[in-house]
Amino acid sequence: MDSNRGIFFSNEDREHFLKLLERYSSITLLSHIYPDADAIGTSLGVYHLLKNMGYRVEIANATPTLPIHLNFLDGFYKIKKRIEYKDSLIISCDCGSLDRLGFDLNGRDIINIDHHISNTEFGVLNIIRAEAVSSSEVAYNFFKPIFEIPYSSAEAFYTALISDTRYFTTSNTNKYSFEMAQELIDIGIDVGAISQAMLRRSLASLRILGRVLESLELHLDAKIATMQITREDFEVTGAKYSDIDGIVEYAKSLVTVDIAILLVERLNSYKVSLRSNRVNLLPIAKYFGGGGHILSAGFEVDSKDYEDKEELKDKILEFIKKEGVITNNATQI
Ligand SMILES: [Mn+2]
């Protein structure tokens, strides 16, 4: 990733934002369904800074159960399951497409803050920087010249930053990630305490991890690793969707592996996560109707379009073989 550029915004972008804000008496912060810590952290961070400026703000997410290890964040229990404000300005955080917000937003003005390269630009104002390591990096850099960043926002933005960079270990981590961390530390956040809180996990997440690791298979000279989670795995372990966040990284960590694939069986669909250290995954995700980032992408397909998940797995592997996604170059270190 290009590490020579910070995240930059023009004055017009910020003026446009402030103009939109003037037209509304209330604001609703949203993030994508089945949120990760970037989605929750970025939306909570923006929520706190707008509240701090005296705006009337609410925060909501359409997912029934949120990742409980984020409960240390100020405002976590204020996140509603539905939108209560009737005519509020919507601010979407970390969400690549409108359907992933999970609410009917017909006729609403949306400000779209994100870092997914595949973002469909569904906002009246789109504040999108694909080079940002987290949506919180986009939000933080956008707001810091115009609003004070209160402690609770700093904590939420930092949580989002360490989550999307996997504690500053992803290949897109750069000097700006650390600069942002330093500025947030200057606001007074306790990085040790945040990391310790973030590293907590539920018993169900450990139980399901054991089962997922059992499912590991290697393909194409061990360059591809697949893992799966069945509905039975969820039932037996009591795990929620939020308990499997990051599990795909275990498959990616194998020395031979260029692409890690996790297939998750849901009620009427299969959700697939793709991870790599060096292969562009977007062509695969897009072929199956999804999107994401270059090295971290995914998609969801109707289960009725496939005999079973084995057929879906074969189709993905077939596509990878046919399109030559894995080249000899790609495996050189
Ligand atoms: Mn993100």
Same domain? For 102 and 231 the reply is no
Q: Residues 292, 116, 54, 51: what is their CA dihedral angle, to the nearest 10 degrees?
A: 30
Its pTM stands at 0.89
Going from the Cα of 140 to the center of ligand 1, the distance in angstroms, rounded, reads: 13
Whether 89 has a pLDDT exceeding 80, the answer reads yes
Average pLDDT, integer, range 225-237: 97
| Contact of 67 with 36, CB cutoff 8 Å | yes
Domain that holds residue 81: 11-198
Going from the Cα of 163 to the center of ligand 1, the distance in angstroms, rounded, reads: 8
| Contact of 210 with 227, CB cutoff 8 Å | no
Going from the Cα of 208 to the center of ligand 1, the distance in angstroms, rounded, reads: 24
Same domain? For 133 and 217 the reply is no
Instruction: Tell me which of 1 and 257 has the higher pLDDT.
Output: 257
**Does 52 map to a domain?**
yes
Whether 2 has a pLDDT exceeding 50, the answer reads no
CA distances (Å), origin 329, targets 105, 132, 137, 176, 325:
45, 26, 32, 29, 11
Question: What is the structure's pLDDT at 299?
Answer: 97
Which letter does DSSP use for residue 88 in this model?
Answer: P
40 membership: H or E segment, kind and range: helix 37-52
Same domain? For 120 and 19 the reply is yes
Average pLDDT, integer, range 1-16: 78
pLDDT per residue as tens digits for the range 135-159 = 999 999 999 999 999 999 999 999 9
**Does 194 map to a domain?**
yes
CA pair distance 30, 240, nearest whole angstrom: 21
Same domain? For 230 and 183 the reply is no
Going from the Cα of 294 to the center of ligand 1, the distance in angstroms, rounded, reads: 12
Last-in-domain residue among 154, 178, 198: 198
Last-in-domain residue among 198, 228, 255: 198
Going from the Cα of 31 to the center of ligand 1, the distance in angstroms, rounded, reads: 10
| Contact of 201 with 68, CB cutoff 8 Å | no
Going from the Cα of 78 to the center of ligand 1, the distance in angstroms, rounded, reads: 21
CATH number assigned to the domain comprising residue 70: 3.90.1640.10
Among residues 315, 295, 299, 298, the alpha carbon closest in space to that of 307 is found at 315
Going from the Cα of 292 to the center of ligand 1, the distance in angstroms, rounded, reads: 9
Same domain? For 72 and 188 the reply is yes
**Does 218 map to a domain?**
yes
Same domain? For 249 and 281 the reply is yes
Going from the Cα of 320 to the center of ligand 1, the distance in angstroms, rounded, reads: 25
**Does 4 map to a domain?**
no
Same domain? For 291 and 166 the reply is no
Going from the Cα of 308 to the center of ligand 1, the distance in angstroms, rounded, reads: 30
Query: Counting beta carbons within 10 angstroms of the beta carbon of residue 189, is it exposed (0 to 12), middle (13 to 18) or buried (19 or more)?
Result: buried
Average pLDDT, integer, range 149-170: 97
Going from the Cα of 321 to the center of ligand 1, the distance in angstroms, rounded, reads: 29
> What's the mean per-residue pLDDT of the chain?
94
Going from the Cα of 101 to the center of ligand 1, the distance in angstroms, rounded, reads: 14
What does the buried/exposed string (b/e) look like for 45-83 if buried means 16 or more CB atoms within 10 Å of the residue's CB?
A: bbbbbbbbeebebbbbbbbeebbebbeebebbeebeeeb
Ligand 1 ion local residues (Cβ < 5 A): 38, 94, 135, 164
272 membership: H or E segment, kind and range: strand 269-275
Average pLDDT, integer, range 205-222: 97
Same domain? For 223 and 184 the reply is no
CA pair distance 115, 130, nearest whole angstrom: 4
**Does 2 map to a domain?**
no
Question: What is the structure's pLDDT at 255?
Answer: 96
Going from the Cα of 307 to the center of ligand 1, the distance in angstroms, rounded, reads: 32
Question: What is the structure's pLDDT at 332?
Answer: 37
Last-in-domain residue among 163, 198, 233: 198
Going from the Cα of 293 to the center of ligand 1, the distance in angstroms, rounded, reads: 9
Whether 191 has a pLDDT exceeding 60, the answer reads yes
Count up the domains in the chain and report the number: 2
Same domain? For 248 and 303 the reply is yes
CATH number assigned to the domain comprising residue 323: 3.10.310.30
Same domain? For 40 and 177 the reply is yes
Going from the Cα of 193 to the center of ligand 1, the distance in angstroms, rounded, reads: 22
Percent of the chain with pLDDT over 90: 90
Same domain? For 63 and 194 the reply is yes
Name the band, by pLDDT with cuts 50, 70 and 90, for residue 327.
low
Same domain? For 63 and 151 the reply is yes
**Does 5 map to a domain?**
no
Name the band, by pLDDT with cuts 50, 70 and 90, for residue 272.
very high
Whether 331 has a pLDDT exceeding 60, the answer reads no
Whether 178 has a pLDDT exceeding 50, the answer reads yes
Average pLDDT, integer, range 108-130: 97
